[in-house]
Chain A
Amino acid sequence: MDNYLLTIILALPIAGVAALLVLGRGDHEGALERKTLLKWTALLFALATFAVSLALPIMFDSAGGLQFQTNVPWITAFKLGVHYHVAIDGLSLWLVLLTTLLTPVALISSWNSIHHRLREFLISMLALETGMIGVFVAMDMFVFYLFWEVMLVPMYFLIGVWGGERRIYAAIKFVIYTVVGSLVMLAGIIALYYLHGQATGNFTFDIETITKAMQARPFLSSVEQDWLFWAFALAFLIKVPLFPFHTWLPDAHVEAPTAGSVILAGVLLKMGTYGLMRFNLPIFPEASQHYAALISALAVVGIIYGALVAMVQPDLKKLVAYSSVSHLGFVVLGIFSFTDQGLQGALYQMLNHGISTGALFMIVGMIYDRRHTRLIAEFGGLANVMPVFSALFLVVTLSSIALPLMNGFVGEFLVLVGTFTSPTLPSARLFTALAATGMILSAVYMLWMYQRVIMGETRNEENLKLADLNVRERLALAPIIVLIFLMGIYPGPFLSRSDAATRAIRARVNHAQAPARANEAGEQGSRGAGEQGSSHASRTGMKK
């Protein structure tokens, strides 16, 4: 049953790193050809990774369960029970694809932007890719944590070495925020490992085993669940980032180079929301229920707050960064609605945000390369000189404000429907109504920004001589534009592959609650486990 596809996907970027090391530096004089060689090497490995990963959705079985598994003992000393266990299911499938897609795209988009320490930059990008894929495919908490931390290092360098003026402050802030979270998570992992081992006699870090054990016979008291829930949740919520843990994000984005921002927004933030769906909901369902209202409230605050602050930013990258806070609020809200629509929408919205916001950062990078400024006030009237750029920018802008037939709409709407119909969330309707104001606010800040950058007369003389997008830049944006429409018009193939996984999580969370509520609403509880409860329940209620 072992399948080495995922291992190959994990190893390919590392092989690229090795190749780059062999090729040597490109910093010496007359090393232009050498630099090109390095870039092509990195790009080829990234593209090869993407090509191989395309096999995943094709061979994926929508019926669910872990697939493409490899599970071999790794550290057996002291009966530690660490396994190299990698696999994907409906939760991680598309996130892996997102990672393998965005890495080459980010490389292409910053083809000419990096001038010093090029080789180290490329190595960081490829190492980062392995780290991110590893987080999504790890099915062993030890391996998960390893990748989670490993990935920090290249990101730290990306910001700290190739970043802007305040890059050191931003890089350290990023690392400290994240490390505070992940240290707590480490404690949580160890505690969970210990408590599980003590209760079952099976000392293992295996996520699936522990999840199933929790499901069969909960071995955690509710107090233990609460503590462990927060140990994991804190790490993930900082990563998301959920208000009020978000202040590292604008700084990190503003200082990071384009490729760093694309990956940071496109993939890294998703690790937080992915973690919530992988760990918190299935393993600590009661605690998840218990704190859903609090976290949802913070998510709603984040949606509105992020949008309002984004609106008044003078710097393009900060604007996009704050808009991420707003968008990710939708994802968290969907997750804690514990409905099929909410969870599916959240997962879809993770992909959408990766694609649309990744593209927005690329677009900002493209004009930054030309003008070396990101201040909105410096631009205006770019449509006169860069028509193709303006058209593509408009598509991405509209995707970001969730226009129907574009990707963002499907995710955002599903999240809102899921939250609205959530049978568990108190004041679900109020939360949804408040979150839906994000629909209006996103139009305000995005269109206003677009108007100030693209429309009007070209008043600043420096903008008059700007060149439109070249072939390379168009190629970098092309797959994203295609996906924006494809995912908006025909989401079926995407949603169907994650359906079983989200359904299982929803059933798990709602089932955990059923015994507690069995007395008051026995019929509805059992209904809730089978079919999606809310609408049916209310309909039957109404007919009576």
Chain B
Amino acid sequence: MLSAIILVPLAGAIILGLAGRRMGERMIGLIACSTVAVSTVLSFYMFFGRLLPLPDDARQIHELLFTWINVGSFRADAALLLDPLSGLYILFVTFVGFWIHVFATGYMRGEEGYWRFFAYLNLFMFSMLVLVLADNFLLMFVGWEGVGLCSYLLIGYYFTKDFANDAAKKAFIVNRIGDFGFALGLMLLFWKSGSIFYFNDPRGIPSAFEWAMKPGGADPATFSAIFAGGLTTIALLLFVGAIGKSAQIPLFVWLPDAMAGPTPVSALIHAATMVTAGVYMVSRASSIYVNAPTAMLIVAVVGAATALVAATIGIAQWDIKKVLAYSTVSQLGYMFLACGVGAFTAGIFHVFTHAFFKALLFLGSGSVIIGMHHEQDMRRMGGLKKYMRITCATMIAGWLAISGVPLFSGFFSKDEILYKSFTSSALHAPWPMVLWIVGAMTALLTAVYMTRLMVLTFWGSERFKEASHSDDHHSDHAHGGDHHPAPKESPLSMTVPLIVLALGAVAAGYLGVPEGLSGGAISNHIEHLLEPAIAHPAETNHALAAEDHSTEFILTGVSVVIAFIGIIGGWLWFKRRPLWQPPRLLEGKYYVDEAYDAAIIQPIKTVSTRVLWKIIDVTIIDGAVNGAANLAARVGDAMRYLQSGLARSYVVVVVVGALLLIGYFVIR
């Protein structure tokens, strides 16, 4: 049953890949959506029908497909594991994924290579589900690289466009840098623990986590632990993988460029599912992280720093998708912040709510882009609310959710993260305070840049009209401003998914209402569910958690105030100055790409060409070889004269030689 969840989308991908070229768009859309629908239904059945009825602490369903690699003591199986963590993931991956597939059938209409697009999307679903359902790290790595490949294929979907190809290649290579860390972490884990499997299972496989959790095995909270080759090293190497996949500092540069792909791709892969794989992996390996306090601190700091930096860039972008891309990077930072302070469930909860509202926002932006006839620059939008009512209304839900307005989903999950950072006992003072402040500042910026995006798109003057007028004066292919097609609402295949996801963006938060807030009136389902699958930091001070909830209420009040300040402030400012010029440094994304190019890429190319190839290979090694050959030839040439054929000269040589020999023996 579990295997069907992954194999049905794979079958869809294979059918579409081999035969899709000769199919019509309806047929292609039907195959692509129905395979994901089957996966979705099976996922819900397996989760609610099979997993939940099991007792709390025995919620693990294993399924062995076959033994994949088995050499010496190294073993990796193609085997699946359904537990609360993977269960929650497959639910929203298949559910959100299905609606994005539906949206894409409308969005991609008339595009060349329609079949190719859906083959890739189905392949992505397969890879993502393998990543999540794997019962060992190597199979997770298969899905991990698989989603990277699909991301590469989909970013480069418009393969005649050079910027799309560059973005695709960049995404793959930056991800590979992360995978390099993941692979080394995996090997170190195997070397130390003798296993790459998460848990013991009926097949008699030892558990890597059991080894990580052994009593007294925790690493000390020192910086030297980073290089000691123990749990901290393993945790950090794995985290390098997460940094690549989930676009954290310093490897975040690929995600904004990845927006070169079609918008449903941005929603599915680069916002809702794939990029949260890093959070999944860190949470999955929580048994390792909780015993590696230094790694925890680094995870938290990297997450918080990424959240803040990306938010500052997001405020200064003009491309509607770029804003959302940096917003995604920033929100992923929040999730790692949660993991780093030991609140893995809060991080996963945010992954869950984020999947809904960010997919919604991206699809909404896609709807806007289609409505605007492929215009992505917000400077040429404005006033769209009267043309695209459904898109506007649904995006408002997403906007309020991500900004943390009370009772919307993002409020609950973000609030939980901020609260857990502030009260974290996994870190020493002053880290909890510092991390909370950074998180709160990010929350403010989030509200501001999202308000800016909404205002510039849906309110204000209809700048697309002015733009086309001013273009007419300069353009040779002038077409009268009156004939500029007005923006129009998207078809049902696109608006229905928006409505469904908007409902999710409003409601998803109620599954994980922090108990302190509701006074226990609403049960925190997510936390209860994930409890057995997640390890807890050793020093977690239960006394603190059990104290009266005044701290939580105060912090919640502060976040609410922050959200409203951000929204109202942003509203007032950008309504008046929609085209306000943001600081160049932020608009230029701190020039990180340029720095990488100058400091890393160009030097490597130059050294490889000028030194390695031209000097070492051609001049030194080949020079030596050719030199040796020439020397041999010259020696041969010279020796030739010895064979002169003149008997007299031979006699001379013989006589001289004989005399020398005789002389030698006499003198000796």
Verify B194–A539 contact, CB threshold 8 A: yes
Verify B177–A492 contact, CB threshold 8 A: no
Verify A339–B72 contact, CB threshold 8 A: yes
Query: How many angstroms from the CA of A489 to the CA of B78 in the assembled complex?
Result: 9
Binds B, one of A107-115, A270-278, A428-436: A428-436
Given the interface pairs A173-B625, A177-B625, A247-B622, the reply to whether A436 lies near B180 with Cβ below 8 Å is yes
- B71 close to A (CB within 8 Å): yes
Query: How many angstroms from the CA of A405 to the CA of B141 in the assembled complex?
Result: 10
Query: How many angstroms from the CA of A312 to the CA of B211 in the assembled complex?
Result: 45
Verify A247–B173 contact, CB threshold 8 A: no
Residues of B within 8 A of A443 (CB): 172-173, 176
The minimal Cβ–Cβ distance linking A307 to chain B, given in whole angstroms, is 9
Verify A451–B169 contact, CB threshold 8 A: yes
Residues of B within 8 A of A542 (CB): 192
Q: Which of A312, A384, A414, A503 contacts B608 (CB 8 A)?
A: A312
Q: Which of A177, A398, A492 contacts B149 (CB 8 A)?
A: A398
Residues of A within 8 A of B550 (CB): none
The minimal Cβ–Cβ distance linking A246 to chain B, given in whole angstroms, is 8
Residues of B within 8 A of A173 (CB): 625
Verify A403–B145 contact, CB threshold 8 A: yes
Verify A308–B146 contact, CB threshold 8 A: no
The minimal Cβ–Cβ distance linking A84 to chain B, given in whole angstroms, is 34
Verify B187–A432 contact, CB threshold 8 A: yes
Residues of B within 8 A of A491 (CB): 68-69
Query: How many angstroms from the CA of A454 to the CA of B169 in the assembled complex?
Result: 13
- A298 close to B (CB within 8 Å): no
Give 1 or 0 for each of B585-608: 1 = CB within 8 Å of chain A CB: 000000000000000000011011
Query: How many angstroms from the CA of A503 to the CA of B192 in the assembled complex?
Result: 22
Residues of B within 8 A of A432 (CB): 184, 187
B181 nearest CB neighbor, chain A only: A436
- A225 close to B (CB within 8 Å): no
The minimal Cβ–Cβ distance linking A303 to chain B, given in whole angstroms, is 13
- B499 close to A (CB within 8 Å): no
Given the interface pairs A381-B160, A443-B173, the reply to whether A499 lies near B621 with Cβ below 8 Å is no
Verify B180–A414 contact, CB threshold 8 A: no
Q: Which of A246, A531, A535 contacts B191 (CB 8 A)?
A: A535
Residues of A within 8 A of B608 (CB): 308-309, 311-312
Verify B160–A447 contact, CB threshold 8 A: no
Query: How many angstroms from the CA of A420 to the CA of B159 in the assembled complex?
Result: 39
Chain B interface size, under 10 / 10 to 19 / 20 to 34 / 35 or more? 35 or more
Verify B184–A436 contact, CB threshold 8 A: yes
- Count residues on chain A whose CB falls below 8 Å from chain B CBs: 63
Query: How many angstroms from the CA of A491 to the CA of B69 in the assembled complex?
Result: 7
- B617 close to A (CB within 8 Å): yes
Q: Which of A177, A309, A345, A536 has the most CB of B within 10 A?
A: A309
Verify B191–A421 contact, CB threshold 8 A: yes
Verify A495–B71 contact, CB threshold 8 A: yes
The minimal Cβ–Cβ distance linking B189 to chain A, given in whole angstroms, is 11
Verify A312–B176 contact, CB threshold 8 A: no
Which 10 residue pairs of A and B lie closest in terms of their CB atoms, listed nearest first?
A340-B72, A404-B142, A308-B608, A532-B72, A420-B187, A535-B194, A312-B609, A455-B165, A532-B73, A455-B159
Q: Can you name 14 A-B residue pairings with CB atoms under 8 Å?
A: A308-B612, A313-B613, A340-B72, A340-B73, A383-B159, A416-B187, A420-B190, A433-B184, A439-B176, A455-B162, A490-B68, A535-B73, A535-B190, A539-B193
Beyond the given A341-B74, A492-B70, A539-B193, please list 19 additional residue pairs across the A-B interface where CB-CB is below 8 A: A305-B612, A311-B604, A311-B605, A313-B613, A340-B72, A341-B71, A344-B71, A384-B160, A404-B142, A404-B146, A417-B187, A420-B184, A436-B183, A439-B183, A440-B173, A444-B173, A447-B173, A455-B160, A535-B194
Q: Enumerate chain B interface residues (CB-CB to A < 8 A).
A: 66-74, 138, 141-142, 145-146, 149, 152, 156, 159-162, 165-166, 169, 172-173, 176-177, 179-180, 183-184, 187-188, 190-194, 211, 229, 604-605, 607-609, 612-613, 616-617, 621-622, 625, 629
Q: Enumerate chain A interface residues (CB-CB to B < 8 A).
A: 173, 176-177, 244, 246-248, 305, 308-309, 311-313, 339-341, 344-345, 381, 383-384, 398, 403-405, 410, 413-414, 416-417, 420-421, 429, 432-433, 436-437, 439-440, 443-444, 447-448, 451, 454-457, 489-492, 495, 499, 503, 531-532, 534-536, 538-539, 542
